[in-house]
Structure 1
Amino acid sequence: MSQASFENICVFHILDGLREGLSHFSSPSRVAVVYAVGRGEPPRICDPQGLLEGHEPKLQDYFLYSSRWRSREDIEGLHILSHEETDLDLSGIISLAARSNSVCYQMWFTEEHPDMCSLGPTRSWLEYAAEMLSQHFAIGNVMGLDTAGFMLQHCAVHAIRDFIVDERSRQVGLDTQIRVYPFLDAILGVSATKEEGASPRGRIVVVEPSELDQVRFVCRFPQDEQPQTANFKHVRKLLQAVEDSGRVLVSDGTSVLGIAIGPMPGAYLAAQFSGSYGFLWIRNQLVCSFSDGRFRSSNLRANLVQLEEQLLETDMSMEKQNALFKIASTMVNRVRDRKHGCTVVVDMAREPMVMSGQHLEEPLDLTRTSQLKLACSLAKLDGAVHIGRDLKLHGFACLMDGRSVPGENRARGARFNSALRFTAEHEDLVVVVVSADRPVSIIKDGVELTALCHFHHVCGLRRPPLLAEWVMS
């Protein structure tokens, strides 16, 4: 096999496995890589889904008009470059660069989604891809490339574990006795275990054994009776003792030591179970969420970027734009947390339209916390809540009607399709539709602004082009 063919197959399998894995951990994700195999070779780029389009000037300045990315020294193993060394700062892009003897330079890129808890696990994932590429170029054999791609599809737990270890090492040093893998397994196992039909709620904290004397224990279990975290059913039952309270279960990572209250010492790990979903923390730093037996990068907050963009296009003052956005965000996230659907009509006209529904003698002032809470409760009723640019609630249980429009989706409910029809006939409205199962749609002018972009499937690649040719084309 020629070098060009090997290079093509190697880059394709690793890039495709990485893309598949990140798309399951986050929203659908694109991946790209810029690399140079030999020390004096020009850089090549593999960007099959157009992730780096629009960033050509910075790539050109860094790779073509400068040679600071090139190494003049032999490198043993894989050397990951710091963010300061790469100095690209591409908006909306996570990147990681590395050097090795087999691949002189490589920089991997993927999307930075706005709802990510932390960029750390994704960067660890990119590091795996860099290590795979270096290893297979060093071996020069295509036999293990299928396995490499498969491994990169299923790296969520390993990426989270590596980020936790690196972050705790940075905060407290390398001297740690906490085993992270058993705790991560316990999180997924407990989250999927129901007790009398109810999903788990409560908090488990993992503390460094050397710092346990700083924990305020309410009670401790004898050493020979400490429940193992691997016994998911037992831990799930114990969580009932700390549910809806300030108490937490305290663990060393493999056993539950007792129940405690108050602040925890050091760079502790914490898993917050909130029913069907939960969050993993390092101290007060959010790492990721978990639900349905899987870890995810999402912070589970509604992504209302498109609403914010629509508000920016109005003639409202920046102060009013921010206030209206915060009101809509509060209502949407509270509704999602309570797991019932709703429809929020954001009316940006100078004079709010009259909608068919329940009106009020005096509109509710949503800048007041008590009235905003009332509006969130009114959102439970069938029909839409109507918010004006004056930051007031003008109606609730409002009906939306209109003629049929293209783009209606029978797989979606009446809220979604009614919003499509209604906004198609009223141009000053943006409608936010919250489904009971948490998805959020933002609709304007009869079009869903939040519709997912389905990237074309990558079936195979030619040899990646030179970066200079790619920039020119």
Structure 2
Amino acid sequence: MSSDSFANLCIFHIMDGLRDGLSHFSHTSRAALLYAINPGDPIRIYDPQELMRGHEPMLKKVFVDSENWKQGAAHLEQTRLIEIVKSKSLELSGLITCGARSKSIFYQRWFTEHHPDMCSTGPTESWLEYAALLLSQDFATQNILRIDSSGHLLREYSTHAVRDYIVDQRNRVMGWDTQLRVYPILDAVLGISKTKEEGAWARGDLIFIEPSELNGIEYLAKFPENERPELKNHKHVRKLLQSVELSGRKLVSDGKKVVGIANCSCTDNSITAHFRGEFGFLYLSSTPVCSFADAQFSATNYRPNLVQLEEILLELNMDPNDRHSMFQIVNKLVSSAGHRSHGCTLVLDFNDPPVNIAGQSLEKPLDLREPEMRALTRSLTKLDGAVHIGKDLRLHGFACLLDGRAVSGENRARGARFNSALRFTAEQDNMVVIVVSADKPVSIIQHGVELTARCDWQQHFACVSTPPKLEDWINE
């Protein structure tokens, strides 16, 4: 096999594993790579799913019109296997990036999507760093027998990415002098999260404190040293969480055992698992790292993604204060329905006056700027049918029936709420319908089209030819 063919296969397998792993950790994700194998080589781009389209001016400025990206590589022969390259000039909108240099590859820079509902970009950045490391190793070893193993490693890297990010951040704060082992903590968090107690999922906070800092905590209750529950006994810890559920109290652990119960705050290097029933969040100090559910870590922050609604509201002729209030009202209703897992349908009517919709009308519309009316509306979303909200920020009806003729975008797998909204908006002007499914996906529908629909990117099964030079790709 020629060196070019080997390089192309290495890049393909690592890209494929990276993209698949990130898509499971967050949402469907694309990835791209810029690289130059030798100092004198032109920089090339491998972007099979057009992630970098739209960023050509910045790429041309940094990599074609300038050679500053080559600086700092003179000491590569004396350095370790790989060196991560930070670059403030590549803060591209909507992208997460990581650059690296090594003896085997002069320069590489990886890109992937920055989804708007991420808890943190940290684990994803660690994922990209690991991709750069594996590509450097594969180029250095030239071992054809393990050419696809790097892709498998990246595909299953979720827990390792979370661990690597936490370790890196804690090392920056306190150096290498730590007794907390992160892998057992992550295993315990996932184990507890999938353990029910009397049919209920875990709720409450479990905080992991450096053993050297435990004596500075004022405990409400502290267990004798020889009777402290083992962290690996997930069932026992799950039972203990009931003592801190729906309170400001926390279970305190040294990473091996549960030490006691306290009202302590997080420290600069503490790790906290915040269990919230079916899902939860992992924090480093007071900063969210990731979420967890179904015994897996993920990037989502479980907040409704209403970016498309923001764009629609900005295009409307509305008072800025009313626009802001409308968004906040909808956001709270959607969040409430999602967290309570009952789902709902919201009809936002921007007609003046609002149209009549079959359902339970009101003698006097409810002013949703009043907290009590908003609380009532949250309860009304539990009823079958849609709630009808006008541009005047008032509730005009509930238990509304949405009907219309069949449209081409219907999806039988999505149920009656979704398909009724498609039919209704296809025949109504100045209407936006928001459908919240019981399992939390949020769909924003206008003119019979789901604005939140995701594209299924075409799968590539080989990197057959050498990727093009960046300059040629820009000029295409």
TM-score (norm 1): 0.97
1:396, 1:247 → 2: CA distance? 40
1:19 aligns with 2:19: yes
**1:38 maps to which residue?**
38
Structure 2 counterpart of 1:310: 312
Would you say 1:412 and 2:414 are equivalent positions? yes
User: Once the 2 structures are TM-superposed, how far is the Cα of residue 369 of structure 1 from its aligned partner?
Assistant: 2.0
Contact 1:74/1:101 (<8 A) preserved: no
Residue aligning to 1:63: 63
Alignment match, 2:278: 276
Deviation at 1:240, TM superposition (A): 1.5
Which shows bigger deviation, 334-343 or 256-265? Answer: 256-265
Deviates more, 1:69-78 or 1:114-123: 69-78
Equivalent residue of 1:157, what SS?
A: helix
Cα deviation for residue 347 of structure 1 reads 1.1
Residue of structure 2 in register with 1:244 after alignment: 246
The one of 445, 449, 457 aligned to 1:447:
449
CA distance in 1, matches of 2:177, 2:361: 64
Taking the TM superposition and a 5 Å limit, the aligned residue runs for 1:65-464 are: 65-71=65-71, 72-75=73-76, 76=79, 77-84=81-88, 87-461=89-463, 462-464=465-467
**Structure 2 counterpart SS, 1:240:** helix
| Structure 2 Cα separation of the partners of residues 81 and 366 of structure 1 | 51
Alignment-mate amino acid for residue 138 of structure 2: H
Q: Which runs of 5+ in 2 are unaligned?
A: none
Offset of residue 225 of structure 1: 1.6
Q: CA deviation at 1:410?
A: 1.3
Distance in 1, Cα, partners of 2:190 & 2:440 = 20
Kindly provide the amino acid, as one letter, of the partner of residue 84 in structure 2: I
Change (3 A) 1:266 1:471: closer
Q: Distance in 2 between matches of 1:264 and 1:6?
A: 49
| In 2, Cα distance between equivalents of 1:346 and 1:176 | 53
DSSP-derived class of the 1:69 partner: helix
Which residue of 2 is the match for residue 51 of structure 1?
Answer: 51
Deviations 1:395-424 (A, max 9, x none): 111111111111111112111111011001
Greater Cα offset, 235-244 or 316-325: 316-325
Deviation (angstroms), 1:386? 0.9
- Report the alpha carbon displacement of residue 169 of structure 1 after superposing the two structures with TM: 2.3
Question: Over residues 420-456 of structure 1, what are the superposed CA-to-partner deviations in whole Å (9 max), with x where a residue is unaligned?
Answer: 1100110211100011111111111111111121001
- Counterparts in 2 of 1:172 and 1:352: CA distance versus 1, 3 Å: farther
Which residue of structure 1 aligns with residue 8 of structure 2? 8
Partner AA of 1:201 in structure 2: R
Kept in 1: contact 2:44–2:467 (CA 8 A): yes
- 1:301-322 per-position Cα deviation (integer Å, ceiling 9, x unaligned): 1111111111122112333222
Q: CA deviation at 1:101?
A: 1.2
Kindly indicate whether the alpha-carbon contact (under 8 Å) linking 1:211 and 1:265 is maintained by their aligned counterparts in 2.
no
Shift of the alpha carbon at 1:11?
0.5
- On the 8 A contact 1:214/1:265 being kept in 2, the answer is no
2-structure distance, mates of 1:171, 1:336 = 37
Offset, 1:141: 2.1
CA contact (8 A) 1:346 1:386 kept: yes
RMSD: 1.2
Unaligned runs of 5+ residues in structure 1 are: none
Q: CA deviation at 1:228?
A: 1.5
The Cα shift of 1:350 comes to 2.7
Q: For the residues of structure 2 that align with 1:24 and 1:442, how far apart are their CA atoms?
A: 23
Residues 239-289 of structure 1: CA deviation (Å, up to 9, x unaligned): 112112222110011211111114243321110111111110112101110
Structure 2 Cα separation of the partners of residues 437 and 421 of structure 1: 22
Contact 1:14/1:145 (<8 A) preserved: no
Contact 2:266 2:286 in 1 (8 A): no
Distance 1:302 1:210 in 2: 40
The structure 1 segments of at least 4 consecutive aligned residues displaced by more than 6 Å after TM superposition are none
Q: Name the CA distance, whole Å, in 2 between partners of 1:265 and 1:63.
A: 42
- Which deviates more, 232-241 or 89-98? 232-241
User: What do the CA deviations read for 1:201-223 (whole angstroms, capped 9, x no partner)?
Assistant: 11100011121122221111122
Q: 1:207 touches 1:266 (CA, 8 Å); kept in 2? A: no
Amino acid at match of 1:79: E
What secondary structure does 1:411 align onto? helix
Task: Give, as a single letter, the amino acid of the residue that structure 1 aligns with 2:65.
Answer: Y
Q: Is the 8 A contact 2:190 2:295 kept in 1?
A: yes
Task: Give the SS at the match of 1:263.
Answer: coil
CA contact (8 A) 1:359 1:395 kept: yes
TM-score (norm 2): 0.97
Residues of 1 paired with 2:387 and 2:220: CA distance? Answer: 46
* Letter aligned with residue 302 of structure 2: L
Answer yes or no: is the 8 Å Cα contact 1:280–1:289 preserved in 2: yes
Mapped to 2, the partners of 1:333 and 1:275 lie a distance apart of 15
